[in-house]
């Protein structure tokens, strides 16, 4: 593939209406300034796949920041330029838009932050990670909507393949190992043969241990936000990437099974409590870290405080709580065992199927039970609290049965 001349294929692409409107404005501004403008990267891929678009990336052969400033004036929005990168960010409606000057990137050493210089569109596309992410669409009036595909991205999209653009891609930027698996999991794509070979080679060189930990973990965090996280984790298992990233980490049948059960629990919770908007990915991470000393890793991942707290509670108390739950014969015993823990903790406990009826009963009924306090009008403070609690326990044992 690498020896083929870099001739782009040309075909017209229909842009979604709102995107087309914005892109035409960019085209006009570029025309006025004597530049050329393109939509580029993930947005092109997503348009071709018919996916919803929220992020728009434009590149400009010329000066991206200048175009961004005029574009911001046109829509009367604020613009945030980053002159050291030649980029600018802004928002129009729900669209997050980035402008950049087309650039080449060279990596001084594997995993380093790249050195950036202005360059042609072709070079800008060539610096990118995978063929499906290395296409552009012209927004200039004379050829508006023309797909520019130097590397066979459209073909790979149809063949459902992740393919790097050159054999050293993973060596230059090991973060791409994680990105490749994230996209493969998200879209249910495979790695091309040569890409898989290059990845295995990069992994055998332990480049994930050498690359910037900050960049790697930032990328990993993105994976934990993905809808198809479990598929991505299976790929991580296949290619042994977590072993490189987490000290002492080992896969086991038991761990994989737990993650699958967690997926069932999460699906249930999403349906039963659609308004909770929990970041479920963290729950998977807590399970993954169960057998290692994961506190530091969570800190490095910038996990929120509730996740670190959950991790501690799970490691220190889950066993005992599970034992008590198994033994509980009455709803009140379930209630007393589970009271005071957090919702994410209950979800982790529900990984064990035989406990689910008790946990569901607690979450849906016992935790919400209200008693009529008017009967205790003579009582105050601690005594009142105690009376209410006792009444609750009595009521729940009378109302509910354990199946
Ligand atoms: N890119 C790259 N190498 C990286 C990160 C990004 O080549 N390590 C390029 C890709 O062309 C990518 C584009 O920069 O499409 C934008 O990056 P990002 O927003 O991270 O990727 P998206 O493809 O938009 O991913 P997502 O759909 O997850 O937003």
Q: Do residues 76 and 67 make contact, with C-beta atoms less than 8 angstroms apart?
A: no
User: Best-predicted range by mean pLDDT among 56-60, 112-116, 371-375?
Assistant: 56-60
Atom of ligand 1 nearest to the CA of 179: 8
Higher confidence at residue 387 or residue 201? 201
State the ipTM, two decimals.
0.96
Pocket mutation for ligand 1, best pick of 41, 211, 219, 220 (most atoms within 8 Å of C-beta): 41
Rounded average pLDDT over 215-229: 96
**Tokens 């039970």 map to which residue?**
369
- For 223, the token pair is 């994976």
Pocket mutation for ligand 1, best pick of 123, 129, 186 (most atoms within 8 Å of C-beta): 129
For domain 160-245, the question of CATH label 3.40.50.620 is answered with: no
341-364 burial, b at 16+ Cβ within 10 Å, e below that, comes to beebbbbbbbbbeebbebbebbbe
Whether residue 378 is predicted with pLDDT greater than 90 in this model: the reply is no
Q: In this structure, how many other beta carbons lie within 10 angstroms of the beta carbon of residue 339? A: 11
Q: Report domain extents, the chain.
A: 1-158, 160-245, 247-366, 371-399
- pLDDT tens string 331-355: 999 999 999 999 999 999 999 999 9
Q: What pLDDT does 105 receive?
A: 83
Whether residue 300 is predicted with pLDDT greater than 50 in this model: the reply is yes
Q: Is the minimum distance from the CB of 331 to ligand 1 under 6 angstroms?
A: no
Whether residue 377 is predicted with pLDDT greater than 80 in this model: the reply is no
**Tokens 């960049």 map to which residue?**
215
Q: What pLDDT does 2 receive?
A: 47
**Tokens 């530049």 map to which residue?**
35
| Measured CA distances, 4 to 8, 26, 150, 350 (Å) | 11, 32, 10, 54
Q: Quick one: DSSP state of residue 286?
A: H
- For 308, the token pair is 């670190």
Pocket mutation for ligand 1, best pick of 98, 110, 128 (most atoms within 8 Å of C-beta): 128
- pLDDT tens string 224-236: 999 999 999 999 9
Rounded average pLDDT over 388-402: 90
- pLDDT tens string 119-178: 999 999 999 999 999 999 999 999 999 999 999 999 999 999 999 999 999 999 999 999
Burial class for 188, CB neighbours closer than 10 Å (0-12, 13-18, 19+): exposed
Residue 113 pLDDT class (50, 70, 90 cuts): confident
Q: Do residues 148 and 89 make contact, with C-beta atoms less than 8 angstroms apart?
A: no
- For 17, the token pair is 């209406």
Cα dihedral across residues 110, 112, 117, 118: positive or negative = positive
Q: What pLDDT does 373 receive?
A: 79
- pLDDT tens string 319-333: 999 999 999 999 999
CATH classification (class only), 247-366: mainly alpha
pTM: predicted TM-score of the whole model, two decimal places: 0.91
Q: Is the minimum distance from the CB of 232 to ligand 1 under 6 angstroms?
A: no
Cα 91 to chain center, whole Å? 21
Rounded to the nearest 10 degrees, the angle between the axes of helix 356-364 and helix 331-338 is 80
Cα dihedral across residues 232, 238, 244, 250: positive or negative = positive
Residue 5 pLDDT class (50, 70, 90 cuts): low
For domain 1-158, the question of CATH label 3.20.20.70 is answered with: no
Whether residue 70 is predicted with pLDDT greater than 90 in this model: the reply is yes
Whether residue 6 is predicted with pLDDT greater than 80 in this model: the reply is no
Percent over 90 (pLDDT), the chain: 83
Q: Is the minimum distance from the CB of 133 to ligand 1 under 6 angstroms?
A: yes
- CA atoms of 235 and 301, how far apart (whole Å): 20
Residues 6+ apart with CB under 8 A from 148: 8, 10, 38, 121, 125, 135, 136, 137, 138
Lowest model confidence (mean pLDDT) among 50-64, 101-115, 208-222: 101-115
Whether residue 7 is predicted with pLDDT greater than 70 in this model: the reply is no
Rounded to the nearest 10 degrees, the angle between the axes of helix 331-338 and helix 305-327 is 150
Residue 111 pLDDT class (50, 70, 90 cuts): low
Q: What pLDDT does 1 receive?
A: 43
Q: Which residue has a Cα nearest atom 23 of ligand 1?
A: 42
């Amino acid at each position: 593939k690498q020896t083929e001349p870099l001739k782009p294929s040309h075909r017209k692409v229909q842009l979604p209406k709102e995107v087309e409107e914005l892109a035409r404005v960019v085209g006009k501004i570029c025309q006025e300034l004597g530049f050329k403008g393109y939509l580029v990267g993930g947005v092109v891929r997503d348009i071709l796949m018919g996916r919803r678009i929220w992020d728009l990336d434009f590149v400009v052969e010329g000066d991206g920041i200048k175009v961004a400033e005029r574009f911001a004036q046109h829509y009367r929005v604020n613009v945030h330029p980053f002159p050291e990168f030649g980029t600018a960010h802004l928002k129009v409606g729900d669209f997050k838009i980035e402008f950049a000057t087309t650039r080449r990137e060279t990596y001084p050493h594997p995993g380093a932050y790249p050195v950036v210089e202005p360059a042609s569109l072709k070079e800008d596309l060539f610096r990118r990670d995978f063929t499906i992410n290395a296409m552009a669409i012209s927004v200039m009036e004379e050829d508006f909507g023309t797909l520019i595909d130097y590397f066979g991205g459209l073909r790979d999209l149809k063949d459902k393949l992740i393919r790097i653009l050159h054999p050293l891609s993973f060596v230059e930027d090991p973060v791409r190992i994680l990105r490749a698996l994230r996209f493969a999991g998200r879209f249910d794509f495979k790695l091309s043969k040569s890409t898989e070979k290059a990845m295995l080679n990069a992994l055998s060189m332990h480049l994930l241990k050498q690359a910037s930990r900050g960049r790697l973990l930032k990328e990993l965090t993105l994976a934990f936000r993905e809808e198809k996280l479990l598929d991505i984790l299976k790929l991580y298992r296949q290619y042994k990437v977590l072993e490189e990233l987490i000290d002492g980490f080992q896969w086991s049948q038991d761990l994989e099974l737990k993650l699958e059960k967690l997926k069932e629990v999460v699906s249930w919770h999403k349906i039963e409590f659609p308004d909770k908007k929990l970041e479920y990915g963290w729950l998977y991470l807590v399970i993954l870290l169960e057998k290692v000393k994961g506190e530091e890793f969570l800190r490095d991942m910038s996990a929120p405080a509730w996740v670190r707290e959950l991790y501690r509670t799970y490691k220190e108390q889950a066993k005992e709580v599970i034992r008590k739950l198994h033994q509980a014969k009455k709803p009140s015993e379930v209630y007393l065992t589970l009271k005071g823990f957090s919702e994410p903790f209950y979800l982790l406990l529900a990984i064990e199927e035989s406990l689910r009826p008790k946990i569901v009963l607690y979450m849906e009924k016992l935790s919400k039970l209200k008693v009529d306090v008017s009967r205790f009008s003579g009582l105050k403070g601690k005594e009142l609290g105690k009376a209410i609690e006792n009444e609750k326990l009595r009521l729940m044992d009378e109302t509910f049965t354990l199946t």
